[in-house]
Structure formats: C-alpha cells, structure tokens
Amino acid sequence: MRRLSLCVVQWIFVLFFVGQVASSNSAFQPILPRASPPRSNNGLTTAVEWDEYSLFILGNRTFIQSGEFHMWRLPVPSLWRDIVQKAKAAGLNTISVYFHWGLTNPRAGEVDLTGINGFQPFFDAAKEEGIWVITRPGPYINSETSTGGVPGHVTWIPGDPSWDLYNGELRSNDTFYHAAWQDYWNGVIGLIAKNQITNGGPVILCQIENEYYNGPGQNEYVDQLRERAVELGIVVPTFVNDAGEFNNLVNDTDLYGFDSYPLSASNCGDRDPAVWPEIVTNWRAYFDATVPGKPHFFPEFQAGSADNWGSTGGYVNCRELTNTDFQRVFYHQMPNDVTLNETLTFRYTVGQDNIMVPQNGGNLTLLGRDSFVIATDLVFGTSTLQYSTAILLTSLNLDGSDLLVVFGNAGLAYEMAFKLTGAVTLNVVGPTEVSGKAINDTYILNFPLSPGLTLVHLTLSHGQNIAVLIADYDAATQLWQPTIAGSGTFANYVGMSASTPLIHLALWGDVAEMTDITIFGPEDLSSLEWNTLPVQNLKQTGKGTWQATIPFSTPSVSLPDLDSATWRFRDSLPEIQPDFDGFAMVPANQTTTTSVFPPYYGEPWILYADQYSFHAGNLIWRGTFVHDSNTTAPTAFNISSSGAVNYVASVWLNTNYLGAADTRQRTNNNSFPVSEELLVAGENHVVVLQDHMGGDLSGQDVCCTPGGRARDLQQPRGLQGYYLVGRDASQQFTGWTLAGNYMGENHPDTVRKIYNEGGLYGERKGWHLPGYDDSQWEEQTPFQGLEQPGVGFFRTTFTLDLPAGYDIPLSFVFDSAVGQYRAQLYVNGWQMGKRIANLGPQTAFPVHEGILNYHGENTVVLSLWALANGTDDMRIPSFALVANGTGCRGSERIIRTGRN
C-alpha cells in the first residue's frame, strides 16, 4: 500500500501537495464560525467551555474531530508519537484514549504506571505535536477487551449482602466495589489531572464510566466517580458516553454524548459491504431535546467495526464497508436515506439571499454514496463567499491573497460566487477550465472539474486578491496543511497558533517512493528541508507555487525463510503423565463461590479459574479419582466446560485422548465414554485443557435483569459441571488442580504485564521467552507438527538487519488451510497472535518494530495445540515472515526484554 503521512512542521507554513501518493485521509481543517455568546462552563475552569454548537478551547470555538487510540494495543511507547503525528496529519484535532484498569491494577493494592502503562510519553507527544486529548479512564471501558478492562480481582469481589443476595453489584455504589476502584482512580486520574490544558497539557475532557445506565446504585456510582475525579484535580468538563439514545446519566456529568455505529459495531466481515441498512435520522432532534444548550457529541461514531472469530469475509469486507464512501456520507452530515446508490440531479435554494443554484441553469449532481456541503455567506480573510457548490477544504492567507481550497468529483460541474464589485482579472493555472462572470455585486466562477489541481487568481481592480485552489477528490486527499507553529504553550495547535514570515520550510513525513511535492506558499520561501535534510531541487513554478522532488531509494529488505529455519521442539503436555510433578499448578480446592452463575453440578469443588487468580489465557484442569476393586468403573466422564464463545476444550484420561468440545458455544456439555482398559489401578487423572477467550463484556448475555449488565463480567471460565458417569456420589473425584498463567495475579513479567501468558506448561516454564536455553531440545518443525493430539512448543531464532531510516511493517502469516488446531504466536516473549485454523479468519499477524528487533536477534515461538488426529489438525502447513511495504521514517524504536 502506498501511504503518506506528514507530520510536524517547524517555523511556518501553509499548504503543500504531494504527488503520486495515495491516502484515504484529507487534511480537513474546518473553518470555524465566530465565537457567539453565551457560553457555559462547569465552574471549575474557563479553559474549556461550550455552547449549543461546539466547545470553546481557550476562548476559541473548536469543533472536535477526534480519532480513538488505545496505547495498550501498541505496546511500544516510542511509537506513540508516530500515531499522534499521523492522526494530526490526517486532519484530526483531537485523540481520545481509553485507559485499561486491568493492566494498570492487576492485583489488589498495586497500581503499575510503568513501561507500556506509563502514559506520560503519549501526553508529551500530543502536546508537542499539537493535538488535544480526550481521556476515557472507565473504570469500565468495554473496548472489546476482556471484561471491559475490569481486573479479575475485582470481578470476583465478595458481595455486600445488603445490596444483592448473591454478590456485590459491580459498577455500582456497592461498598466493596467502591473500595476496589479507589487505587486505580487515584493513580490514573492523578496522571490525567497533571496533563490537563490548565496545566499546559493536552487534556480537554474526561469521560466517566462508559456506555452505562440509569438505575439505583448506578447513578450514585457515576456521581461518586465524578466527584472523586474532581477531588483529584479534574477541572476540565466531564462527560458520559451513553450506549445509544437512551437518556442515561444525562445530568450526572458536565456534557452528554452517545455512541453510534450506523453500519454495526461487530461482525463487519459477515456483512455485505455493498448494502447499507436504513439508519436512524433523529440524532439532531434527540440532542436538542435531551441536552439543550450543549453541543451534539458522539464520543464514538463509527470509524471501523470489530470483526469476529469465524467471520466469512474478514477485514477486507470491513474495510470496504466503512471505506471513504462511508466517511463522505456519514461524516459530512446526518443523511436521510443511505440505502440507495443512485445519482440525483437537482437545483437548490441556498443562503441568506435565497439563490437558486446553479445560477448558470445547470443542475447539481449528487452521486450515489456521496454527499456534499454547500457553504454560504462565509467571510474568509477580507473576502466574502456567497456560496460554493464545491466543498470547502480550508482557507488561508497567502501573500495578501485570501485563498480558499475547494474540492469535488472530477467530471462534475461546480459553481462558486463571491461578493465583490469592480473589474476582475482571472488567471487560471491547471487542468480545470474555469470561467468567470460578474452579476451585479457578485462574481461567479463555473467549472467542470478535471483531475488534479488548478489554481485560480482573481485580481480586483482595487488591489484585493482572491485565490481558489480547486482539487478533485483524489488530489484533495493528497493535500496537507501543516500547523503554522506560533509561540507559547500551545504553539503547535491548529487554531491557536500565529504565523511568522516564511523563510525556511522544514517538513517531516514519510514517502513510499520518489515523490513530487507541490508547495503553495508565500513568495519569500527560500529553502526546504525534508526530515532534517535540505532538499536541493526546490524551484518556483508560478505565483506562490514551488515544486520539489523528495528522493527515495528502495531499500533491500532481507527476511529469514522460516520454512527452512531450524526449529526446536518440546512436548508441552506433561500433565497427562502419571508421574507429572504438578509444576506451577494449584489445588482447585475452594468449595464456595460468590458468582452469580452457580455451578451446574459437580461436588464439592468450585472449578472457576478466576477464583484462583487466573484471569486470562489457557487453563489446564487435572482431576484425580481412584479405580480399584472396591469401586465401580466409570462409563463416561461428563463435563460442562465454559470459556466464552468460540473456546474449545480437549480432554484426556490418563495418557488417552478422549476428544474435544468444539462447537463455538460459550459452554459445552460433553460425555466422553470411558472403557475399562483406559483405567489404571489406583489414581487416575482426567486432564482438561481449555482456552479462555476473554471475560464477557457487560450486557453481552444477561442484559435485562436488574444489574444484569454488570453480572456478565462474572461469567465463569472453567468447569461448571464435572461428573464420573456410572458412579455414585461417594466415588467421584478426590481432588483437582489447576494451571493458569504463571503465578496468576502475582505474574513476574513486569514488562509484558498480566494478560500476556496463559497456563500451558511451556508458558509456565517460560519457553516462549527469548533467552530460554533450548539447545537440548530435539529438532522438529511446526510443519512436521505433532504425532498425536496434544500440545507442543516450537522455537526458532533469527537475526534481522533491516536498513535504517525506513518503515518496514512486518507480519507473520500462517497458512490458511483448515485444520482443528489452535496456535499461539510469541515474538520475543510477546504474545502477538492466536490462529484458530478451523475458524479464522485471521492468518496474518502484524508485529511492530519494538516488539521485533530490526537490528539483532529475534526469538519466535509457536505453541501448537492439536485437537484431533488428522494430518491437517496436527501441523501448521506453512508460516512466513513477510514485509507489507516500505517507507521512510524518522523516530527511534526500542526493544525490550522481560522475565526470563
């Protein structure tokens, strides 16, 4: 993919154009209406205020265009600045971020704001690059992350019997739950408060809770969170994000918003991207009725959508579903009928003069899946636009000319009218043919738009100058308006900065090939720098335009061939052996539970992993029973295993594989027949290996009982039933042990944190980590695989020496062949992927630099869990490291180590 992002500009500047580079983002800088009183604030600060249309930041009306970023999904803090720069270059003025309670407060009493949880570098980057930040610390965040970010030690807090017979209500004013969020709130809110705009930081808003509801104990809880945040120093406005038009918590915080995913928030891969469903169209009326006097606010408005395990189309569908057509229609305005895809022609009356446009007698044309905004009666600089049927991108002053940048579809006709009197000289440079005509006190431009860029100068007899830069959609996506840095605390913020005379232009950006750039700027531009190096070939090509070529040489990228690499192998299922020593397993010996989801059957032990401090990753249960002449031989082993939708479980009796539970359900009930020859005299062992697909999100299942939304967070992962069929109650199991991630909540990996590992023997032993000595392991490849259903670990190492100064995104790619196996990918100890070969759809797993060492040794480990004994179930057919394109770049990357 060819891609460009352009980031920081020191000193000054205006606008430049990059040729031969595709990008889906336009550098959209809204032209802001003048401030109009009255505006409101929360009594704590005037730095961020609002009226019914927008926020005001430091007194300046600011429409928020924000993108969402989750730092934990990019666990390389040195890459965060790159994200911030790209977001800004793409035209956003704000980034919103969630914080992850479970990662930062992995066990009661510990708040960890180090390493990938150390958010200060992100705030610093945002401030230095000039982009505002909306913070969303939850505590519950949903975010398609396990239990919506609520840590395992909290989801299983004991109940307050006065509130709920079964359990303390999570996400309520329950006493125990109230105590549970204090440490996290103190730590994270303290950090956010330090970075507020009032302290010179980028933070302008703070969200309280997420997608939550009115209810007894629930409103009180949200109020407690907000009050405590204020005590901890939050002065910027707080807000809630309702899950829809539900009137929840409307007055509990300063501002109110709701989220909307018009094309569905999940399973985009299963949708036909050619079909847009009917959507609600009453957003505006709802906001006006619900929060009169406050801005219309979508804390989440569909950008993409989540894809699910087993989707048929995968991300290719998702990208098409919410592509640039979607953005043009849904971001420009609240459409009426989006189901149609047909071209409309019409005429329309616009503006305070009620003019029927186009005035030249033609039609306006609206293509299917497109939209446009006709700007009217707009003052820019000293000039006045009466209307424009071409869409406005931005305006600026260039050498005394008021410059307006507009765009539209190549092949369609547009009309613009300016309020002016007197003779006009028209000068047109570029492919679009433009005609001009004076009618009374207006001057009208008409043009059928051609691909590319056209610069039009209107020179007026009295010395005023107007310039119009006309672009088609494609060309507009390649226009970038860097910040004109000013001085002071907010020097790099759009709308806050002051321009200075231009002498030297320093640009920073990425290109993927030799690239021509066109610069529209003042006459006195004399030199250009690209990524700190002087560009020698800058030349002026017209009034206010320059061209230069950014050099690029294709790097030579050499990647290892993992198919022919040396792999070392070890079996990872010693738990089925009779003499297994019990390494890193704990007795599953609790007999009571506070879960609102009681066990179905099985006495007396509660086999729910969270109760034993295991909250993520694979789980291994090992049950013991006695077979001798005094007992009846069981005829079957029955379990109800639970691991969330799409989990699986494999079951062994002693060393014999009994089979798998693999139905895509959240719970499976299976009876595995047991014949007497599988039994041994004395102690017998049943081993159940299951995976854990994350904790449920609120409202995923039990949505509609009081408090039900929070109860889902307690859906058990483990065995909800266990029973030896053919035996009575006195001859059941004598005990169970359990393995989860090494040491559970006391996990030793302070670098990669609590969610990185599960309970496979190899994970408990650290076989996934770099530096583990595998020299005594036998040579065997994942392509040879296993000889029977079970689990094996395969390790290989390789050295990368990739050319410096380039972005070279890499992915590990599994074969797409179907097989009943599950594999985990560990890169330098970081778990970077899970391949489910009979479900998919994902086969390619991107791994960023900073996880991969681009200039040194790397350790790649695959765990292979074969669930059946077909050849395709017991091996990974192929596995490759591939490059996904190259581009230049500038930031420094780091590589880290972890537990060893």
Judged by the rule CB under 6 A, the positions of this chain that interact with ligand NAG are: 35, 58-60, 173, 175, 216-217, 220, 247, 250-251, 274, 341, 345-346, 361-363, 368-369, 439-440, 490, 496, 587, 589, 628-630
Cβ 586 to ligand NAG, closest distance in Å?
A: 6
Cβ 274 to ligand NAG, closest distance in Å?
A: 4
Pairing relationship of beta strands 238-242 and 255-258 according to DSSP bridges: parallel
Residue nearest to ligand NAG (CB): 59
Whole-number Å distance between alpha carbons of 885 and 554: 10
Cβ 52 to ligand NAG, closest distance in Å?
A: 14
Asked whether the beta carbons of 88 and 129 are under 8 A apart, the reply is yes
Secondary structure of residue 478 in the 3-state scheme = coil
Nearer to ligand NAG, 29 or 781 (CB): 29
Nearer to ligand NAG, 323 or 459 (CB): 323
| 833 contact partners, CB below 8 Å, separation of at least 6 | 812, 824, 825, 842, 845
Whole-number Å distance between alpha carbons of 460 and 603: 92
Nearer to ligand NAG, 486 or 659 (CB): 486
Closest CA to 751 of 895, 611, 623, 541: 895
Joined together, the tokens standing for residue 97 give 């971020």
Secondary structure (DSSP) of 357-398: E-TTS--EEE-TT-----EEEEEETTEEEEEESSEEEEEEEE
Nearer to ligand NAG, 35 or 423 (CB): 35
Q: Alpha carbon of 270 to those of 218, 315, 318: distances in Å?
A: 35, 10, 9
Whole-number Å distance between alpha carbons of 664 and 645: 5
Closest CA to 666 of 649, 644, 650: 644
Closest CA to 654 of 634, 678, 626: 678
Work out the burial of residue 616: count CB atoms within 10 Å of its CB; fewer than 13 is exposed, 13-18 middle, 19 or more buried: buried
CA atoms within 13 A on the CB side of 515: 27
Buried b (16+ CB within 10 A) or exposed e, 437-450: eeeeebbbbbbebb
Whole-number Å distance between alpha carbons of 246 and 224: 21
Nearer to ligand NAG, 493 or 567 (CB): 493
Helix 120-129 with 80-89: angle, nearest 10 deg: 30
Asked whether the beta carbons of 695 and 156 are under 8 A apart, the reply is no
Whole-number Å distance between alpha carbons of 447 and 450: 9
Q: Is the dihedral of CA 803, 809, 812, 817 positive or negative?
A: negative
Nearer to ligand NAG, 341 or 884 (CB): 341
Nearer to ligand NAG, 359 or 646 (CB): 359
| Length of the chain measured in residues | 900
Look-up of token digits 């507020």 = 196
Joined together, the tokens standing for residue 311 give 């989707």
The distance in angstroms from the start CA to the end CA of the chain is: 38
Nearer to ligand NAG, 370 or 712 (CB): 370
Nearer to ligand NAG, 146 or 483 (CB): 483
Q: Alpha carbon of 483 to those of 366, 491, 508, 515: distances in Å?
A: 33, 9, 12, 21
Cβ 770 to ligand NAG, closest distance in Å?
A: 32
Nearer to ligand NAG, 369 or 764 (CB): 369
Closest CA to 725 of 639, 783, 793, 660: 639
Listed in sequence order, the DSSP H helices in 109-253 are 120-129, 152-155, 175-194, 218-231
Cβ 176 to ligand NAG, closest distance in Å?
A: 9
Cβ 507 to ligand NAG, closest distance in Å?
A: 24
Secondary structure (DSSP) of 274-335: T-PPP----HHHHHHHHSTTS----SSB-SS-B--TT-SSHHHHHHHHTSHHHHHHHHHS--
- How many Å separate Cα 889 from the centre of its chain? 22
Q: What share of the chain is helix, strand, coil (3-state, %, to 5)?
A: 15, 30, 55
